[in-house]
Chains A and B, each alone.
Chain A
Amino acid sequence: MTTRATEALPISVRNVTKTYGPVNALDDVSLEVKSGEFLTLLGPSGSGKTTLLMVLAGFTRPDCGSLKFGDDEVIRKPPHLREVGMTFQSYALFPHMTVAGNVGYPLRLRKRPKSEIAERVERALETVQLGGYGERRIDQLSGGQKQRVAVARAIVFEPRILLMDEPLSALDKKLRDQMQIELRHLHEQLGMTTVYVTHDQREALTMSDRIAVVNHGRIMQLSTPRDLYERPANRFVADFIGESTFLPVRRTDSDVFYGDTPLHYSGDLPETPDLLLMIRPERVVLSANGPVEGANNFTATASNVVYQGDSFLLHAWLQDGQQVVMRGAVRGNSATALPVVGDQVTLTMSPEDTVLIDGREA
């Protein structure tokens, strides 16, 4: 509905470092965000996500590095000249202004005529489904509404870059799910380059074009959600995204062995002697008829079975004492056929689901 006056801008971060005393908040970070892309920074608490966003917005001065919006070097530009929209984790809506006052603020600073301001404010509020809320006071809004006003204020001046720092963390789960879809929809509608921060992996997987996994101020992996989940670059990423158990494997020239059994696997092997077999619970199947030809089979003893309604979790000991977890669907007769503790079971994993990853932490 909104016709954009300007095109989205790519962001290029090169070798940005920021230290706080002994802490490397950002450690030589380089990152390219494509024009119009929805990129998420995902990482544990204290990994440097906010710091990176603050560098993009101009509130944190890095020790060194380069930052380009399009072709312009902006690393030394003060924040008020950067023309990026941003939503704060605390929303930071001005309590002494109405909703319309808040949303109109960036336009008043830009000295737009009154009628244009009124019109654009109303349009921005409609975009976030708050049409007609202009005269409300900020303290009369619910958490989700505040969130939307913050978004409206960040987009009303049509910035070509939008930054969001954990915008949904204060909302309850239901509202969060709904807002995720709305924000994603908004992004498709407006198409501005978006950098989004979260430490919720599901949120990241749901919303992003690409995800940058951050740890200790470094980018561990930058890929599409699917690649990240299925082909994690290292153990940290595999551990951080989704559940998994890891089994040590042995590598020869061309083959990979678990114990004495050669593994059927797909994809390339990482260039490291330190390989791990990554087992995602939902990628393991409980075989009723013994080993399956052409797949990887593991004989195990059930140690714990948890019924979870839509599925069940089976913890099992492998013969060498390693524990693995698998998740199975509960359907009709299989519900009656759940294994019980102590059962001897055969677990199978197809070659496509057999992923070997770099076992080093980083």
Chain B
Amino acid sequence: MSMTTATLRPNETGLRTDGRLERLRLFGLSSPAMLLILVILVIPVGWLFYVSFIGANGEFSLENYERMIKRRSYIRIFITTFQVSVLTTGLCILIGYPLAYFMAQLPNRLANLCLITVLLPFWTSLLVRTYAWLVLLQKQGLVNQWAMSLGLWDEPLKIVHNMTGTLIGMVHIMLPFLILPVYGAMKAIDRDYLMAASNLGATPRKAFWTVFFPLTTPGLFAGALMVFILCLGFFVTPAVLGGGKVIMVSMKIVSNIELFVNWGAASAMGVVLLIMTLVILWIASRFLRLDQITSGGR
């Protein structure tokens, strides 16, 4: 019996052992990375959850969450956060899509140059870029001076320490995250599609809206989603350019800790922010595959 199986299915056990060993080896190789994730991500987030359920008296309580629902100031903070995120995303689309389109039309060498300039801001620290905007936008700043000398407006405009300033800074910082996937999606479109559309009778405008634009929407969704989610948790730019008038969730978390030393309240807000982000990702994932974010919508 065992003779016949051995001859009918040669090396069966040996091959199965090899397979198991190979999986084991792969697991062994990836374990340092998994350990790292466990230590720096899973444990702190678990801790965050735990702390958010501890009340002021050190016992289990829901007071941190109750406060968020009851106090209008908290609700307003969440609304502001959404407002800033939606506006930033919208402005990024309005500016980024045409820019990506322009870049996609350029010959390769020029397009690469443009791409480098789009990526250039990443070489400078976020903080530096934000403070640079503060300098540019203030009352006696370059923007106001130039605009007035050009006669665009007469009085120095208040374009910083408020929502306007925050949005200018945020859009500037988020723009590359939108441009890159959109540009990728555009570059991946075969020229033949547009020729076919035109051959079948589409005017250039029609061909754009019926063929080109729909083919770039996965990239556009991917970029917009990334910008939106990054905005939700953004801190530095609204803190510096908002002048205390634009209070986002992350800023409230910081003040809860630094001013009031209330770790429970801060943790609860963090948890809510995290859950909101996950819900948005989950909804989005029903409309597009998330791996498209990294592959330019292909």
Binding site for B on A (CB under 8 A): 57, 59, 78-86, 88, 90, 92-96, 105-106, 109-110, 153-154, 157
Contacts and interface: CB of A to CB of B under 8 A. Distances in A.
B275 interface: no
A225 to B, nearest CB: 28
B190 interface: yes
Contact of A110 (B195, B196, B197, B201): B201
B210 interface: yes
B98 to A, nearest CB: 21
Contact of B215 (A79, A86, A93, A96): A96
A105 B192 contact: no
B289 interface: no
Contacts of A80: 198-204, 207
A95 B189 CA distance: 10
Nearest to A88: B192
13 contacts: A57-B195, A59-B199, A79-B199, A88-B195, A92-B190, A94-B193, A94-B215, A95-B215, A105-B197, A106-B201, A109-B202, A154-B200, A157-B201
B195 A109 contact: no
Contacts of B207: 80
A80 B205 CA distance: 11
A94 B207 CA distance: 11
A106 B200 contact: yes
B196 A109 contact: no
Given A95-B215, A96-B215, A105-B210, A57 B190 contact: no
A92 B198 contact: no
Contacts of A90: 190, 192
Contact of B200 (A59, A95, A109): A109
Contacts of B201: 80-81, 83, 106, 109-110, 157
B76 interface: no
B271 interface: no
Contacts of A110: 201
Given A79-B198, A80-B198, A109-B202, A92 B192 contact: yes
A84 to B, nearest CB: 7
A79 B207 CA distance: 12
A84 B195 CA distance: 12
Nearest to B215: A96
A157 B200 contact: yes
B158 interface: no
Contacts of B193: 92, 94
Nearest to B203: A80
Interface in B193-248: 193, 195-204, 206-207, 210-211, 214-215
Contact of B196 (A78, A81, A84, A86): A86
B195 A96 contact: no
Given A59-B195, A94-B196, 19 more contacts: A57-B199, A59-B199, A80-B203, A80-B207, A81-B201, A84-B199, A85-B199, A86-B199, A88-B192, A88-B196, A92-B193, A93-B196, A94-B193, A95-B215, A96-B214, A96-B215, A109-B200, A109-B210, A153-B200
